[in-house]
């Protein structure tokens, strides 16, 4: 699996809960949410495009930061 890092403009617990919801709905992902740094690290076989589209469903400003080495 590739580990991908995304920026998601999260400001509160509610935002990170929204991210958790959309990712769990997608399925097949392991993820860590770093709320203070507004980062979401996802371990998945889904494509970056799929993950980005999924994260954008939260309505937050989202961008792909790159692959994270394990």
Q: pLDDT digits over 6-58, tens only? A: 999 999 999 999 999 999 999 999 999 999 999 999 999 999 999 999 999 99
Provide the residue ranges of all domains of the chain, joining segments of one domain with +: 1-66
d(CA 50, CA 70): 21
Residue scoring higher pLDDT (41 or 68): 41
Confirm if 63 and 7 have CB atoms less than 8 A apart: yes
Q: Is the pLDDT of residue 70 over 80?
A: no
Report the topology of domain 1-66.
Alpha-Beta Plaits (3.30.70)
């Amino acid at each position: 699996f590739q580990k991908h890092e995304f920026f998601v403009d999260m400001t509160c617990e509610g935002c990170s809960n929204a991210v958790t919801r959309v990712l769990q709905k997608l399925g097949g992902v392991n993820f860590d949410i770093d709320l203070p740094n507004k980062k979401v690290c996802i371990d998945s076989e889904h494509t970056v495009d799929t993950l980005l589209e999924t994260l954008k469903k939260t309505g937050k400003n989202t961008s792909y930061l790159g692959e994270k080495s394990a």
